[in-house]
Amino acid sequence: MNRIGIIGAMDEEIDVFKEEMEIKEVKSIANIDFYIGNIYGKSVVLVRCGIGKVNAAICTQILISELNVDLVINTGVAGAINDELDVMDIVVSTDVLQHDFDVTGFGYQLGEIPRMDTFIFPADAHLVEKTVSASERVLKNNKVIKGRVVSGDIFVSDMKLKENLLKNFSADCTEMEGAAIGHTCYVNNIPFVVIRAMSDKADGSAGTNYNEFVQEAIANSKEIVKIMLKQI
Ligand code: ADE
């Protein structure tokens, strides 16, 4: 492994790393700032991709094609779909998919991407194991599970949609970037993992819970990445 890409969607999600990073260079491509340097003994490119799947895909492709990243970590927050999960619990992606991809009108399964060999993109098993063991060291009172992360260009704050994500995809949590990052890594043959701390339960109170828990959830994610990076 030569260089690791660390992607967060929002400033809050990457600022926690920026504070501890030795930044050697900042490159701006496609209106995105890429922070190149070292953190916790590893060569990294840290970046805020912006919100949503398109922003995430653009950013990931630049990391791979222009900045020679050969492993991608996506960290941040998510809404819990699995009823066993509480705010502050962690989901480490086993796989990711895009829940708002809908070509059912042509007989495809919901989420299925026509003319691709898969629409469920598996995370790297080795990275997943390392992340789970790092998470177990960081979290004292919260759960960490391996599970399915589903992404869409929707902040899920509606019980009906939440139930559908569980029924249709067996989702564990939902956010707005991970599957686009996973998809981009998959077609480039680059290993990835998505690490998400639950900021809300993707229901009617998601907006309020999000604001209350987002900072603490981000702090936990950072500690996990810190331990995990030291181990890989
Ligand atoms: N990120 C954090 N919470 C989320 C939610 N409920 N829906 C989509 N993305 C999120």
Domains detected in the chain: 4-231 (3.40.50.1580)
**pLDDT band at residue 33, thresholds of 50, 70 and 90?**
very high
Question: Cβ distance 99 to 120 under 8 Å?
Answer: no
Write the pLDDT tens digit of every residue in 124-167. Answer: 999 999 999 999 998 888 999 999 999 999 999 999 999 999 99
Phi and psi dihedrals of 155, rounded to 5? -80, 110
Which of the following is catalytic: 13, 112, 175, 177? Answer: 13
Query: 213 falls in which pLDDT band (50, 70, 90)?
Result: confident
Residues 204-216 have a mean pLDDT of 84
Given this model, what pLDDT does residue 9 score?
Answer: 96
Active site residue 158: no
- Rounded to the nearest angstrom, the distance between the alpha carbon of 140 and the centre of ligand 1 is 23
Q: What integer pLDDT is reported at residue 166 of this predicted model?
A: 98
Give me the pLDDT at residue 206, please.
Answer: 77
Mean pLDDT of the chain: 95
Higher pLDDT, 137 or 105: 105
Question: Is 200 tagged catalytic?
Answer: yes
- Residue 141 Ramachandran class (φ > 0 left, ψ -120 to 50 alpha, else beta): alpha
The structure's pTM equals: 0.96
